[in-house]
Structure 1
Amino acid sequence: MKIGEFAELNNVTAKMLRHYDEMGLLKPAEIDLCTGYRSYKQEQSHQLNWIIILKNLDFSLSEIKEVLNGPTEGKKIVDQLIRKRIEIISSLNEQTQKKIAIDQLIKILEKEGFHMEKQFDLLNIAQTSVHEIKKNIPNMEVFLESANSIAALCSEKDSISVFRFDISHFKQVNDEFGFDVGDSVIVACFQIIESNVKKHLSHAAIGRAHGDEFVVFAAAGVEEIEKTARSIIQDMGTYNFAKIGCNKEMGCYIGGLVSQQKSNTDIRRLIEDSIEAINHAREKGPNAIAIETIET
């Protein structure tokens, strides 16, 4: 069938098909040597569908070409999909933090007596309120800068680690006791993490991944990270959350990666990849630890 017919059949444009042809992604079944007209077979729709699916999942055209050019190892495809999922989750985490900051700003404006029909000067809002907003705005770049500074101090024989902390069933806290109590629980958990990181790890940086999840980067090996994780879980178990309004036993998940420091180590990628490790901890249940050793 002609290119226009094939395009209409698959809800794409002829221009897109020409581009895929030029990229070597989807070649026409035939090309008329005299007119240059392209024609396609109906069964080529199957390949086009895969191109569209992978493109919508944020695969680049070059990545799609590599996947579809022939038989590929299943593990390689799964690894690519996992990496895409990590990228998406990382993006969602940042958007969630921005939403939290916007919600806080709305509450502050309402508290300060903001009215649509009146003029309002943001500079007159109390500094403490502004600080609360700033504290919750995603600032992964600052965390990454600290992480890179720590990595720069390490030799290629040293281990570097990333681990994530997530509160188990945190949504139930907000649902049962309200968001103010939820915020207090998050602060308490941060203090528990911070005290244990300072106690067990010499060189470490703590960042907030999103609402109820924290990430730690450290110059440390498996033994040190596992010891820190166990200590955090122990302190979670003995902390009196009832005194801050949460009449519920709180648990957590801790998952992380340990790698040997190398000159070409991508710290940002290591941090993103640690999302998969904490997913493994979640699969085990509350107060589970999943620390994995990887090659970078």
Structure 2
Amino acid sequence: MKIGEFAELNHVTTKMLRHYDEIGLLKPAAIDSETGYRSYTSEQSHLLNWIMILKNLEFSLREIKELLSGPMESTSFVHQLIRKRIEITAALNEQIQKKMAIDRLISIIEKEGFEMMKEIDLQHMGFADVHEIKKNIPNMEMFLETAAHIVALCSDDDSLSVFRFDISHFKQINDDYGFEVGDNVIVACYQMIESNVKKYIDHATIGRAHGDEFIVFAKASKDLTTLTAQNIINDMISFDFASIDCPKQMGCYIGGLVGQFKNSINIRKIIEDTIEVIDHARRSGPNSISIESYH
């Protein structure tokens, strides 16, 4: 069928089809040597349908071409979809942060009016902000999916790191000051972990293991893991917990394992193994670190 008929059948434009032909994404079934007219078969609608699905899921045309140009295994395709989901989730979390900043700015201006010379602290979190951040901390299933993607990016010689963060005496905060203050502490600690992981490690993911515990999985050496953990500790020591309505200055423990374990990796098992390592840190008291080699 002619290009116009094919475009109408699939609810796209002829301009789009010509562009897809030019970049080698969807070539016509035939081109008339004299007129240059493109013609397509109805079977090519299936390929175009997949192109449109992936495009709507924010895959670039280059990515779509790579995905559809050769034999495609279901496992490989699923990995690419997971990677895209992770990208979208990260972008969504960033937008949520911006939305909360806008909400805080609206609240400030409505209460105090607009003044050009006024200094405004958009980092101060209200209860609604804390709830929103807490709700969007990645759960364990999302954490495991992202960790599996990181493993897929690594070679056999790359070091992988799993470390656990635990807030010291957190239960006492909930008991003495209430769950709202406890939530403030949880979110503040998550943000300290997140900022340092982003600063020092290129490929990493953070998940919430239990109420007051977080897990980080990363492509990182023992030295880099220790550096990141120490800077999280430093932030904990210098953080003013009274500013988030917590009268008690909080501490933490960090315990982790590092090794070249791509080929025999069982992420859930390694997470369990970090429980013993963080116990080693607890024996040294709050704000202690124990990073060990994984065998």
Match of 2:5 in 1: none
Q: Secondary structure at the match of 2:156?
A: coil
Match of 1:170 in 2: 170
**Could you tell me how far 1:236 is from its partner in structure 2?**
0.7
Match of 1:257 in 2: 257
The answer as to whether partners of 1:162 and 1:271 remain within 8 angstroms in 2 is yes
Distance of aligned partners of 1:171 and 1:136 in 2 relative to their CA distance in 1, 3 Å threshold: farther
Match of 2:161 in 1: 161
**Could you tell me how far 1:272 is from its partner in structure 2?**
1.6
Distance of aligned partners of 1:162 and 1:137 in 2 relative to their CA distance in 1, 3 Å threshold: closer
Q: Secondary structure at the match of 2:216?
A: strand
Distance of aligned partners of 1:180 and 1:134 in 2 relative to their CA distance in 1, 3 Å threshold: closer
Match of 1:41 in 2: none
Distance (Å, rounded) in 2 between the aligned partners of 1:197 and 1:138: 15
Match of 1:213 in 2: 213
Q: Secondary structure at the match of 2:283?
A: helix
1:275 maps to 2:278: no
User: Which has the larger displacement, 136-145 or 171-180?
Assistant: 136-145
**Identity in percent:** 65
Distance (Å, rounded) in 2 between the aligned partners of 1:133 and 1:217: 20
Q: How does 1:92-241 map to 2 (within 5 A)?
A: 135=135, 139-241=139-241
Distance of aligned partners of 1:226 and 1:138 in 2 relative to their CA distance in 1, 3 Å threshold: closer
Distance (Å, rounded) in 2 between the aligned partners of 1:178 and 1:258: 37
Match of 1:40 in 2: none
The answer as to whether partners of 1:154 and 1:261 remain within 8 angstroms in 2 is no
Distance of aligned partners of 1:136 and 1:194 in 2 relative to their CA distance in 1, 3 Å threshold: closer
Distance (Å, rounded) in 2 between the aligned partners of 1:139 and 1:249: 27
Match of 1:69 in 2: none
Distance (Å, rounded) in 1 between the aligned partners of 2:294 and 2:281: 16
Distance (Å, rounded) in 1 between the aligned partners of 2:242 and 2:142: 34
**Could you tell me how far 1:264 is from its partner in structure 2?**
2.4
Distance (Å, rounded) in 2 between the aligned partners of 1:142 and 1:157: 25
Distance of aligned partners of 1:138 and 1:221 in 2 relative to their CA distance in 1, 3 Å threshold: closer
**Could you tell me how far 1:261 is from its partner in structure 2?**
3.2
**Could you tell me how far 1:216 is from its partner in structure 2?**
0.2
In the TM superposition, what whole-angstrom CA distance separates every residue of 1:72-92 from its partner, at most 9, and x where no partner exists? Answer: xxxxxxxxxxxxxxxxxxxxx
The answer as to whether partners of 2:134 and 2:187 remain within 8 angstroms in 1 is no
1:266 maps to 2:266: yes
Distance (Å, rounded) in 1 between the aligned partners of 2:133 and 2:237: 30
The answer as to whether partners of 2:258 and 2:291 remain within 8 angstroms in 1 is yes
The answer as to whether partners of 2:138 and 2:207 remain within 8 angstroms in 1 is no
**Could you tell me how far 1:280 is from its partner in structure 2?**
1.3
**Could you tell me how far 1:136 is from its partner in structure 2?**
7.6
Distance of aligned partners of 1:218 and 1:171 in 2 relative to their CA distance in 1, 3 Å threshold: same
**Could you tell me how far 1:135 is from its partner in structure 2?**
2.6
Alignment coverage as a number of residue pairs = 167
Distance (Å, rounded) in 2 between the aligned partners of 1:137 and 1:165: 14
TM-score normalized with structure 2 length: 0.53
5+ unaligned residues in a row in structure 2: which ranges? 1-127
**Could you tell me how far 1:282 is from its partner in structure 2?**
1.2
**Could you tell me how far 1:229 is from its partner in structure 2?**
0.6
Distance of aligned partners of 1:259 and 1:134 in 2 relative to their CA distance in 1, 3 Å threshold: same
**Could you tell me how far 1:140 is from its partner in structure 2?**
1.7
AA at the equivalent of 1:238: S
Distance of aligned partners of 1:286 and 1:214 in 2 relative to their CA distance in 1, 3 Å threshold: same
AA at the equivalent of 2:171: K
AA at the equivalent of 1:180: E
AA at the equivalent of 2:260: Q
Aligned Cα root-mean-square deviation (Å) = 2.2
The answer as to whether partners of 1:151 and 1:261 remain within 8 angstroms in 2 is no
TM-score normalized with structure 1 length: 0.53
Q: Secondary structure at the match of 2:250?
A: coil
Distance (Å, rounded) in 2 between the aligned partners of 1:280 and 1:151: 27
Q: Secondary structure at the match of 1:289?
A: strand
5+ unaligned residues in a row in structure 1: which ranges? 1-127
In the TM superposition, what whole-angstrom CA distance separates every residue of 1:159-182 from its partner, at most 9, and x where no partner exists? Answer: 001000001111221122111101
AA at the equivalent of 2:187: V
